[in-house]
Structures are given as structure tokens and as C-alpha cells.
């Protein structure tokens, strides 16, 4: 009787072990946690706070993953996800999303004329009197970024852009010194930030939307981690 019971327990345990799902170390499996927030294929979430990661330069994506892991950017969910991951693992994920070439959603409606004019002026010409360089001087004349590590500014929701400017201004987001974006954001007024985010969010993404291979001139401000026109 006892022997039969033991045999039954062992058989049940073996059946349970056989029923366990097989772990597949594939890229599709690895990025399930990413697309859960950033949308299918990394196209962006509909709430406006989880940005598009598909098609961004691989170096930029990699640097942000490392920054979350190493404490230069702060968001508990991201930190928890990447904390145990190696540089090589993160680089492979970054390369995967960078290689995706997917359509962008329609842009937001244009802001009022005065706001649009202010935003466009800052993006295209900056404000030399206040030491604010033009966005196009770093992010490319098409604002689609510069390979391998400068991100594009188009195709992003206004709420996300506002949140990132705010994070730079308040010190919640950091990069390697000299932290050029924190320096620039600190010189922007709240009206400047509003105009920039509304104008950028209203612009269509040019096609093709690939990052430029290089900038036509040297960066106008020193940025930590710059190498061959790439900024972290």
C-alpha cells in the first residue's frame, strides 16, 4: 500500500516536471518585458509616457539601458528589469530595436501660431543670447538623430518630451559629464519647454526616418561620452 502511494507521488511529480514550459532564450522572449510597456515592437504606448524605442540609434538605446541600471536615470520599473543584465545582453536588446523600421503614427495637431513660432525658432536657431544651441545642431537637420547615439526628436508624444525636459531640469535624469542636456534644459523657461514639446510633437516624421550618419559640423556644446558625433 505504502509502496503504491510512493509510486503514485513520484509519477505525479514526473508528470508535473514534464509539463513545465521550456525556456527559450530567444530575442522574442527577451523583449517581452520591453514591449509590455513600450508597445508592440516598441512602437510606443498609447498613454504618451512610454516612448517609441523602435528605430532609435542602437548606441542611444544601449546608453539609456545602462544609465537606468547604473543609476543615472531613475524609474523603478526599468531599474528592476535591467539591474541583473550584462552590458552584452543590453547591447543585443538595443541592436534588436534599432534595426526595426516601422511606420510612425500621425503627428499631434499644430499648436497656436505664437507657440509654434517660438518652438520652431528654438529648434532651428536656438537662442545664442542665452547660450541655448539649436536642436538641429545636435539631433540632425531632419531631427531624426545621428548614429550611433544621438536620438531623434520627432515621432514622440508631447507628454513624454515634457517629462524628459523636466527630468533634466530637476536632476532626475543624468548623463556622463559634461551633462550637456541638463545644462541646456536648465536655461529653458517653462514656456520654452511647452513651445518645444508642442512644436516637435506636431511635426511629421520625414521618410526615411533613419538617423543621419554624421553631423555637418562639430557639436556646439561639450557632451559627455561624445565620440565621432555621438552623445550619450
Domain check: are 43 and 109 in the same one? Answer: no
Domain check: are 60 and 91 in the same one? Answer: yes
Domain range for 140 is 104-232
- Per-block mean pLDDT, blocks of 10 residues, the chain (232 long): 50 57 79 92 87 93 94 92 95 96 93 98 98 97 93 94 94 89 96 98 94 92 68 40
User: Coil, helix or strand for 73?
Assistant: strand
- State the total domains in the chain: 2
Domain check: are 132 and 89 in the same one? Answer: no
Tell me, what's the pLDDT at 9? 45
Tell me, what's the pLDDT at 231? 40
Domain check: are 51 and 112 in the same one? Answer: no
Domain check: are 114 and 93 in the same one? Answer: no
Domain check: are 188 and 120 in the same one? Answer: yes
Pick from 102, 130, 165: which residue ends a domain?
A: 102
Tell me, what's the pLDDT at 229? 45
Domain check: are 156 and 201 in the same one? Answer: yes
Alpha-carbon span 37 to 124, nearest angstrom: 32
Q: Which three cell numbers stand for residue 119?
A: 518652438
Domain check: are 81 and 118 in the same one? Answer: no
Domain check: are 40 and 117 in the same one? Answer: no
Alpha-carbon span 82 to 66, nearest angstrom: 8
Domain check: are 79 and 68 in the same one? Answer: yes
Tell me, what's the pLDDT at 14? 55
* Single pTM value for the model: 0.82
**CATH number reported for the structural domain that contains residue 158 in this entry:** 1.10.760.10
At residue 191's C-alpha, the angle toward residues 185 and 195, to 5°, is 85
Tell me, what's the pLDDT at 78? 94
**Alpha carbon of 220 to those of 106, 135, 154, 209: distances in Å?**
31, 10, 21, 24
Domain check: are 79 and 137 in the same one? Answer: no
Amino acid at each position: 500500500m505504502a509502496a503504491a502511494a510512493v509510486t503514485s507521488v513520484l509519477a505525479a511529480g514526473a508528470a508535473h516536471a514534464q509539463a513545465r514550459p521550456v525556456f527559450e532564450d530567444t530575442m522574442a522572449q527577451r523583449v517581452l518585458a520591453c514591449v509590455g510597456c513600450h508597445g508592440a515592437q516598441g512602437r510606443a504606448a498609447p498613454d504618451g509616457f512610454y516612448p517609441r524605442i523602435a528605430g532609435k540609434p542602437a548606441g542611444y538605446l544601449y546608453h539609456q539601458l545602462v544609465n537606468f541600471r547604473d543609476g543615472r536615470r531613475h524609474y523603478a520599473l526599468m531599474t528592476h528589469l535591467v539591474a541583473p543584465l550584462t552590458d552584452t545582453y543590453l547591447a543585443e536588446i538595443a541592436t534588436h530595436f534599432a534595426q526595426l523600421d516601422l511606420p510612425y503614427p500621425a503627428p499631434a495637431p499644430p499648436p497656436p501660431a505664437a507657440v509654434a513660432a517660438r518652438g520652431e525658432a528654438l529648434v532651428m536657431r536656438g537662442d545664442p543670447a542665452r547660450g541655448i544651441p539649436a536642436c538641429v545642431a545636435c539631433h540632425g537637420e531632419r531631427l531624426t538623430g545621428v548614429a550611433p547615439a544621438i536620438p531623434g526628436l520627432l515621432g514622440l508624444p508631447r507628454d513624454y518630451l515634457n517629462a524628459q525636459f523636466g527630468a533634466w531640469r530637476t536632476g532626475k535624469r543624468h548623463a556622463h559629464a559634461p551633462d550637456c542636456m541638463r545644462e541646456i534644459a536648465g536655461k529653458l523657461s517653462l514656456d520654452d519647454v511647452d513651445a518645444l514639446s508642442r512644436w516637435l510633437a506636431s511635426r511629421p516624421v520625414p521618410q526615411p526616418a533613419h538617423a543621419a550618419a554624421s553631423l555637418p559640423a562639430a557639436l556646439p556644446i561639450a557632451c559627455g561620452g561624445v565620440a565621432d558625433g555621438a552623445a550619450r
